[in-house]
Amino acid sequence: MNTIAAYDTDDARWAAVQQREAAADGHFVYAVRTTGVYAQPSSAARLPRRENVVFFDSPQAAEAAGYRPSRRVQGDQTRAAAERAALVARACRLIEASQTPPPLDELAADLGMSPFHFHRLFKAETGLTPKAYGSAFRARRLRAELSAPEASITDAIYGAGFNANSRFYEASDQLLGMRARDYRAGGAGADIRFAVGQCSLGAILVAQSQRGICAILLGDDPDTLVRELQDQFPKARLIGGDAAFEQQVAQVVGLIEAPSIGLQLPLDVQGTAFQERVWRALREIPPGTTASYTEIAERIGAPRSVRAVAQACGANRLAVVIPCHRVVRRDGDLAGYRWGVERKRELLRREAQA
């Protein structure tokens, strides 16, 4: 039976509450007008009168309507959160141990869940879909294997979990942004177009790999920015941008001057699975608003990783596009910023006035 469809009417939901169906937990909650609290369908609390009951799709919706969780719900939420974290951790280990990315249906079956429910749970807890998590993990492992001084590309192929050369070469460009042998050689043979200019915040460098914009750097000294790019890919061919590339740079400069307009250019975002979770959460912060490091850690389902969130912000190479300038301390202090606190303050001022 499709459990999602089974609870799509108030009558079906009330029947589930009357039967205290545990299978309905997570699909909706019911609130009681006379007490102002809400509970899961399987709650053992005394059944209220039907005319006093209202249904919500989620606890968040119930709380937005002014209801508070019952004491039982608070305890259930703590246990449920631990159970969800354990399930997702198990799924992550299954993905990491697989030679090839396991299908969604297979992962869900291993955890005793429907594919829809598993997909939604995994994304809510990690900030990534199972497929995106698998790609990020494989990319991280591939970069680590290629960076080993004695390892050959063949060693890296099998060490990263590819069981056939053909599968590897189909995916390597997408994972690395260049051919594996070019990455292995510090970018040797790869073309990275770049341009250095000036904007109202000082010097700016914009670089583009074969996949998209891979660096937007800000600073006081253009030469320092170029050296920073060279350190990332010491053997790549750094090519001065032509007229077409200069137009893309102009779009980036326009973003610096008006951060709220966004940027409609392909990006080459490379990081660990955790970094990509953080960066995805940063891009969901609306212009003109801020979030604390603690809030970002909670949003990605890792509330104890506040310091790691700050480190991920510091590792960001795409200034403004991945808006780490919108992250502040819990007390509202601007804290550090890779490209200077004054630039952070100015970017926030511009967004607030937009």
Backbone angles phi, psi at 41, to 5 degrees: -55, -30
Higher per-residue pLDDT: 216 or 187 = 216
Q: Which residue has the higher pLDDT, 68 or 154?
A: 68
Could you tell me whether strands 327-328 and 291-292 are parallel, antiparallel, or unpaired per DSSP bridges? Answer: parallel
* pLDDT score of 140: 61
Backbone angles phi, psi at 97, to 5 degrees: -85, -10
Q: E strands within the chain?
A: 29-32, 37-39, 53-56, 68-69, 191-199, 202-208, 213-219, 237-240, 291-292, 327-328
pLDDT at 340 over 60: yes
Q: What is the pLDDT of residues 344-354, one digit of tens each?
A: 999 999 888 86
Across 15-24, 101-110, 174-183, 313-322, least confident range: 174-183
Give the best-scoring range by mean pLDDT among 91-105, 235-249, 257-271, 324-338: 324-338
Question: Would you say residue 169 has pLDDT above 90?
Answer: no
Element of type H or E holding 89: helix 71-97
Q: What is the dihedral of CA 131, 136, 138, 144, to 10 degrees?
A: 180
This prediction has a pTM of: 0.52
Q: What DSSP string describes 232-298?
A: HSTTSEEEE--HHHHHHHHHHHHHHHSGGG---S-B-----HHHHHHHHHHHTSPTT--EEHHHHHH
Condensed to tens digits (0 to 9), the pLDDT of residues 235-270 reads 677 888 777 787 788 888 888 887 767 777 778 777
pLDDT at 50: 93
**Nearest 5°: phi and psi at 192?**
-125, 110
With contact defined as beta carbons under 8 Å apart, do 347 and 320 qualify?
yes
Highest mean pLDDT among 84-93, 111-120, 168-177, 226-235: 111-120
| Whether 124 contacts 117, CB under 8 Å | no
What pLDDT, on the 0 to 100 scale, is given for residue 71? 67
Total residues belonging to the chain = 354
Asked if residue 321 lies in contact with residue 213, where contact means CB atoms within 8 angstroms, the answer is yes
Residue 175 or residue 147, greater confidence:
147
Q: Which residue has the higher pLDDT, 145 or 89?
A: 89
Position 118 confidence tier, pLDDT thresholds 50, 70, 90? confident
Mean pLDDT in residue range 69-81: 60
Q: What amino acid occupies position 207?
A: A
Confidence of residue 141 (pLDDT cuts 50, 70, 90): low
Residue type (1 letter), 309:
V
> Which listed residue (92, 214, 313, 324) is catalytic?
324
Average pLDDT, the chain: 77
Three-state SS for 206? strand
- Among 182, 206, 180, which Cα is nearest to 195's? 206
Kindly tell me the burial class for residue 98, based on how many C-beta atoms sit within 10 Å of its own C-beta (0-12, 13-18, 19 or more).
middle
Q: Is 92 a catalytic residue?
A: no
Q: What is the DSSP string of 90-120?
A: HHHHHHHH-SSPPPHHHHHHHTTS-HHHHHH
The arithmetic mean of pLDDT across residues 325-345, rounded, is 88
Rounded to 10 degrees, what is the CA torsion of 101, 102, 103, 106? -170
